């Protein structure tokens, strides 16, 4: 299959009509959103969802997020629409928030990975909204990467992973945010974040006026090497089962192992330099801040994620940076922790993504 890459300039771009027709006919179209690129198909067509799982190489028990362009579509897709959903939609849609609700009959279980709930989001991107409108159906879309690879933040990343597998990629340039949407489950007694993202728990709490929990199964905990080995053997490791099925899988990982080094900035740099020094004949990669990059002159590859403490920049660049390491032959990567703990907004999202990229390999120094 030839994969067309089409630049989209606005929500009214004529090419969106052709892309919408591909979706209506059961085909797949990758498209930009404000978070990462999505791989879209008709959410109401079980065969289209099967094609998404196949193109990604994703297990079919890992449900897809259904993207809409108008709030009225929620009533068609969800059996119950709680007041909390309306309030959150008012505050954050279109935007990087996904809500889990009880699914309506209309939504095939193939789309929801066999669950009786459905994940809904209205993305804040003209190409995405235009595509959904032109398709005339809600669009199921996970991130447009091959399963296990870092999520795509440019059309070129999508092409790397999907060339020959899908007919069309819409190119809207680099995405804005760079990490996936916050997922909040509204089907339980207490709203619960199943995947942290740009919309923090504090932001949700402010709108809802009640406490919002974080799924205890995804709270960051460093694991030992032994636990890591067990995880690599059977694919899952955590004693608690995360409620968003996707959070169970190894994810966002570069090809080489990544070790996250936490602690005061100077101690982090000293630790990484010592590792490079002690293993001189091995090619080492370092993911670091602009302030410390000059120190790592003996590393094989140094990737600067942004200024120290600039968490939006780290989020924006992270997946492209991880892909960058895949271009060279390296033994392992050390990542500075960037002062993540100091940030209020992106803290949980970045801790979660870095921990996943590191497969739990975290060293604390200083």
By the rule CB under 5 A, 143 interacts with Mg ion: yes
Size of the site for ligand AMP (CB under 6 A): 20
By the rule CB under 6 A, 112 interacts with ligand AMP: yes
Single out the residue of 119, 193, 218, 354 in contact with ligand AMP (rule: CB under 6 A).
119
Q: Which stretch binds ligand AMP (CB under 6 A): 112-120, 224-232, 291-299, 334-342?
A: 112-120
The CB-nearest residue to ligand AMP is 246
By the rule CB under 6 A, 275 interacts with ligand AMP: no
Q: In what order do the strands lie in the sheet with 332-336?
A: 301-306, 284-289, 332-336, 258-262, 362-364
Q: What are phi and psi of 245, to 5 degrees?
A: -50, -35
Single out the residue of 19, 100, 204, 330 in contact with ligand AMP (rule: CB under 6 A).
100
Pick the closest to residue 18 from 174, 181, 134 (CA basis).
134
Give bridge partners of residue 259 from the DSSP assignment: 334
DSSP structure class, residue 237: -
Q: What are phi and psi of 131, to 5 degrees?
A: -65, -45
User: Cα separation of 1 and 291, whole Å?
Assistant: 45
Pick the closest to residue 342 from 351, 333, 352 (CA basis).
351
Number of other residues whose CB lies within 10 A of the CB of residue 191: 23
Of 117 and 151, the one with the shorter C-beta distance to Mg ion is 151
Closest separation in Å from C-beta 62 to Mg ion? 9
Closest separation in Å from C-beta 60 to Mg ion? 14
Q: Are 43 and 66 in contact (CB under 8 A)?
A: yes
Single out the residue of 34, 171, 180, 337 in contact with ligand AMP (rule: CB under 6 A).
180
| Residue 49 token pair | 């969802």
Q: Which stretch binds ligand AMP (CB under 6 A): 21-29, 111-119, 252-260, 289-297?
A: 111-119
By the rule CB under 6 A, 320 interacts with ligand AMP: no
Q: Are 259 and 335 in contact (CB under 8 A)?
A: yes
Q: Compute the chain's Rg from CA coordinates.
A: 20
> 9-21: buried (b, 16+ CB within 10 Å) or exposed (e) per residue?
eebebebbeebbe
Of 135 and 183, the one with the shorter C-beta distance to Mg ion is 183
Helical segments of the chain, H only? 15-24, 46-56, 73-77, 83-92, 126-135, 155-162, 201-208, 225-234, 265-278, 311-325, 347-357
Closest separation in Å from C-beta 272 to ligand AMP? 30
Q: Are 238 and 222 in contact (CB under 8 A)?
A: no
Closest separation in Å from C-beta 318 to ligand AMP? 14
By the rule CB under 5 A, 147 interacts with Mg ion: no
| Residue 365 token pair | 């120094």
By the rule CB under 6 A, 63 interacts with ligand AMP: yes
| Residue 67 token pair | 């993207």
By the rule CB under 6 A, 62 interacts with ligand AMP: yes
Closest separation in Å from C-beta 59 to ligand AMP? 10
By the rule CB under 6 A, 117 interacts with ligand AMP: yes
Given ligand AMP, Mg ion, none, residue 43, with its beta carbon under 5 to 8 Å by kind, binds none
Given ligand AMP, Mg ion, none, residue 244, with its beta carbon under 5 to 8 Å by kind, binds ligand AMP
By the rule CB under 6 A, 194 interacts with ligand AMP: yes
Of 158 and 261, the one with the shorter C-beta distance to ligand AMP is 158
Of 14 and 116, the one with the shorter C-beta distance to ligand AMP is 116
Given the rule CB under 5 A, which residues bind Mg ion?
143
Residues that bind ligand AMP (CB under 6 A): 62-63, 65, 100, 112, 115, 117-119, 142-143, 180, 183, 194-195, 243-247
């Amino acid at each position: 299959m030839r994969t067309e890459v089409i630049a989209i300039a606005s929500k009214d771009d004529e090419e969106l009509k052709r892309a919408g027709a591909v979706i209506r006919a059961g085909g797949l179209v990758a498209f930009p959103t404000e978070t990462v690129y999505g791989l879209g198909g008709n959410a109401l067509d079980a065969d289209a969802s099967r094609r998404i799982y196949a193109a990604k190489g994703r297990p079919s028990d890992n449900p897809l997020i259904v993207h809409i362009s108008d709030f009225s579509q929620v009533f068609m897709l969800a059996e119950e629409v709680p007041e909390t959903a309306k309030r959150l939609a008012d505050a954050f849609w279109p935007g990087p928030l996904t809500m889990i609700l009880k699914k309506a009959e209309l939504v095939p279980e193939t789309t929801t990975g066999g669950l009786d709930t459905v994940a809904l989001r209205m993305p804040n991107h003209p190409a995405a909204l235009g595509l959904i409108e032109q398709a005339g159906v809600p669009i199921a879309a996970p991130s447009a990467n091959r399963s296990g690879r870092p999520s795509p933040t440019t059309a070129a990343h999508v092409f790397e992973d999907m060339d020959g597998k899908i007919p069309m990629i819409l190119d809207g340039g680099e995405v804005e945010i760079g990490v996936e949407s916050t997922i909040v489950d509204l089907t339980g007694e207490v709203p619960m974040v199943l995947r942290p993202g740009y919309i923090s728990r504090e932001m949700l709490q402010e709108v809802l006026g009640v406490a919002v929990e974080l799924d205890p199964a995804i709270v960051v905990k460093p694991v030992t090497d032994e636990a890591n080995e067990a995880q690599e053997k059977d694919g899952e490791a955590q004693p608690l089962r995360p409620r968003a099925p996707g959070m169970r899988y190894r994810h966002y990982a570069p090809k080489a192992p990544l070790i996250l080094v936490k602690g005061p900035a100077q101690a982090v740099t000293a630790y990484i330099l010592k590792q490079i020094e002690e293993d001189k004949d091995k090619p080492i990669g370092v993911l670091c801040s602009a302030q410390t990059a000059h120190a790592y002159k003996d590393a094989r590859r140094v990737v600067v994620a942004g200024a120290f403490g600039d968490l939006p920049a780290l989020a924006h660049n992270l997946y492209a940076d991880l892909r960058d390491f895949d271009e060279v032959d390296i033994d392992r990567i050390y990542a500075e922790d960037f002062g993540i703990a100091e940030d209020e907004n992106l803290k949980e999202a970045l801790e979660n993504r870095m921990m996943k990229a590191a497969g739990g390999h975290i060293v604390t120094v200083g």
